[in-house]
Amino acid sequence: MFLEVFSCFAVLATATCHNCESFEEEDFRLSQTNQQELQWTGRYNLTRITSCSAIKHREGETYLEITNFLHGYIINMKNMHPRGQCRQECKDFTHVKTEKCFQNKWCKEQPPCSKIIKCEFKSAAMNVCRSNMRRTNRRYEYIDEPGIERNCTDTSVYLETQSRGLFDICDYCYCICEEDMPSADRYISLRTAVADVSDNRIVTGIRFIKSNGIIHFQVQDGKLMPYGKINGSTVRWVPVRKFTVTDKNVAENVDYHKLTWQHRRVQLNDVFADEGFVITGVRFKQIGHHLRLNLEILTAPVNYATGKLINPKNTSTYKGIPNIGLVNKFGKELRLSKPDVPSRDGKASIVSSTNKYVQFTTTDYYKDAGQTTVPFFDAKAAESRGSPLVGIGIFHRGGEESGGFIVPQIYALNLPKTSKFDRGVKELTSILCTDLAFNRSFFCGSEILKPQEFLALL
């Protein structure tokens, strides 16, 4: 019942970032949206915790990447037409595939694309530096205008518009290719990452990890003690239940989400537990026609005074974003403008607002030849360091014209560390120990102790 104890506190909270070379701290106020999502009466002292922006990026340590999902693709328009004609414009080719290569050497030497999403004209001539796709997860190292010289570590190919008469002008088009490769890392787990509630453990931290090409939530858990404390010696990272998308009894849209051009949206929101509940798990859930990935938390009721979860196997409930139907229908997109590779940006300081969604897309043509899928996932952990969690969220962090990162964040109860507080709480056992499953007592305004009397204890 610890949440009610803090219903008299100020809403001013502390924002901290952990696991980085530099430590930053600032005060902030919960947004009006978040206050509504809390659905608590009164005001709370919370700590918002997330990881800092990394100064030096290392794949697998500071970030995780979706690979071989979307690529920029250079193809002559005649190779997208069933009869090899060139009487259209690049922009007319949408949702097509590589047809016949005819006598086009460039077409024959690069892997075909089975699903070309859209195309546009960029230049009548270009230098394309090829790349070993199996080794680098890229089709090209770069695409340059003629006259710009760079060191190509593979093979550089000069391409230019071909003319076959007055009306048959065959341009090279820059297209977005949705790859169909078994080696693609384009999957996101839908399974719940859960604390061991049978051992009275609750979630104390979260992070993203990648296993077998699948992005997973991983939770940190610890044993809950009386009055909202965590036994620090029990805190550990819960092993992820690993699987592959080809395993028996593993199904798409049940165990995992496959990113496609139509299904590539992630909702950026915070989700908070109800009063008297703590967080015991977290997952992504598909919502709506576009199968947008939305955050959900698993919560269980708790007896604050004893520090015991109340029958969690039977009373646990999932909590999602309020009014999710309206959010999915009217939520705005966080558009990535001319995005560069996120790991090239050491100043990822721009943070998105809530109630927006982000779509996975390719990097900018001029900056990276569209060879990288962005945003990345931030691999650094958000840990409460010994406090119960009342909320979990994800947001987008990225500098201007960066693809950015999808970053986890947590909201921990900021518990006073005073003996007076402990004595005050123990005196309130009669009201705080009521069975939460049937009666959610409110501390403020009770006859046992007035709010001003309780605050005087702190």
Whether 340 and 372 have beta carbons less than 8 Å apart is answered as no
Q: How confident is the model at residue 423 (pLDDT cuts 50, 70, 90)?
A: very low
Q: What Cα–Cα distance (Å) separates residue 69 from each residue in 50, 166, 189, 251, 259?
A: 28, 38, 16, 19, 8
45: which residues sit within 8 A by CB, 6+ positions away?
A: 6, 9, 10, 12, 13, 413, 414
pLDDT tens, residue by residue, 340-386: 999 987 665 677 766 799 999 999 999 999 999 999 999 999 999 78
Q: How confident is the model at residue 158 (pLDDT cuts 50, 70, 90)?
A: very high
Determine whether 289 is exposed, middle or buried from the number of CB atoms within 10 Å of its CB (0-12, 13-18, 19+): exposed
Whether 76 and 43 have beta carbons less than 8 Å apart is answered as no
DSSP structural state of residue 311 = S
Whether 355 and 196 have beta carbons less than 8 Å apart is answered as no
Which pairs count as long-range contacts for 285-292, CB under 8 Å and 24+ apart, including other chains? 285/190, 285/318, 285/320, 286/190, 286/253, 286/257, 287/324, 287/328, 288/325, 288/328, 288/329, 290/262, 290/263, 290/265, 290/328, 291/253, 291/257, 291/263, 291/265, 292/265, 292/266, 292/267, 292/328, 292/357
pLDDT tens, residue by residue, 47-62: 899 988 888 899 999 9
pLDDT(33) > 50? no
pLDDT tens, residue by residue, 425-451: 444 433 332 323 333 332 322 233 333
Higher-confidence position of 18 and 240: 240
